[in-house]
Structure 1
Amino acid sequence: MDKNKEKETSCRVLLEGGQGEYVEKKSRFIATLRKCESEEEALGFLEEMKKKYWDARHNCYAFVIGARGELTRCSDDGEPSGTAGRPMLEVLTGEGIRNVAVVVTRYFGGVLLGTGGLVRAYTQAVKEGLRNCVTGRMRHGYEMTVEADYGDVGKLLYLLGNAGIEPLSADYGEKAALRLNVPAEALEALRKEMADATSGRAKPEGLKEIYYIDKETG
């Protein structure tokens, strides 16, 4: 696979949606985020939020669809032009998250915020919502199994830990067998390190090109 395609498919994605709230001068801004993989899904999510918050003054939205963010849309839903949808979209694109939609529901608090105040409030609401979401990174890589003598397992686990790779599973029979997902860019270096550490005894088998998602933490 060429490097350009690898870059296209290495992106952040939403694994679990979430919700956050920001209050500015008694106006409530409720951000709800959801994983959406098509424009139809995103617009359906918007309609769902409009029904849920039917009594709100505004339900502004933004979404980014596709591994390369090919499709983006946003709406101010009656707020002054450029004060809601665009800032919301810029948070999503700035975070590099794909296949995600956000709706920010505003309950007016009786005090006008001005254009700067609105931009700040809608931006902060999306950021609060993202803090309560679970994200991951879709990667291009390889699934493999590494068989090793028991005396070599500790060395392999040490190397994998340094590379930030956690075994998917471990089977202990006549030999230990570790099943791994390895990022494409780390494959050759890891192969060499494993071979050096075990005098060539540990070798990857069943190499299979895949795309997989690493859950992000912290």
Structure 2
Amino acid sequence: MAQFDVSLVLPDTLYHGSTMGAIQGLRIKPINKEFWKDAKDFGAGFYTTIDLFQATTWARKPVVAMERLNKGTDPSAMVRSLPKDQIPVVAVYDCNSNLYTDNIILHDYRGESRAWAQFILSHRHSSTVDNCLCLNEFGWIHPHIACGLMADNDTGQIIEDFRSQGRDIHNRDDLEWFWTQIIRTREGRRLNGLELGDQIAFSAKL
């Protein structure tokens, strides 16, 4: 395997979609394991993006779900009816990597490669907040920062289909099937590059 001498410069500004109820906690301690969830693309962590529009989309997910259940209802009226702690918000963070002196393990997945898909499949299929399988699956500990494209489509449903069809995360054909699913929209349109969206996930060490 080639060895790369890489210097990563993180963006000056990162965005995180959330709700009003989480803002105070995010202000005090954004990288907080207490709020992490299982089965995320790059494993448990604090997810950010360089794209303000994308962060807005993340923040509006509960509203979008309500819109699907209440077709024909004025979206602005639904937002006004939300409890204050559920109102969508976007947190904006200044990013200054010069403040850190630790050795940081970083994985940067450029493009929709099979290695990117395998990393996502492992974490979506088997990892939890308290149990990451990176060491067993790949031979290295989970990175402190993981950057790359987002899986598109309904990844939760894709994982359910993966299991129900008896697929194996170590089988090359099954990985190929998973890859073809996560690079398409729900309607089946093939997406390329940044159409999929960008994410930077921070894990527990930072």
Please report the TM-score for the alignment, with normalisation by the length of structure 1: 0.21
The structure whose RCO (Cα within 8 Å, separation 6+) is larger is 2
Q: Which has the higher helix share?
A: 2
Give the structure with the higher percent strand.
Answer: 1
**Which TM-score applies when normalising by structure 2?**
0.21
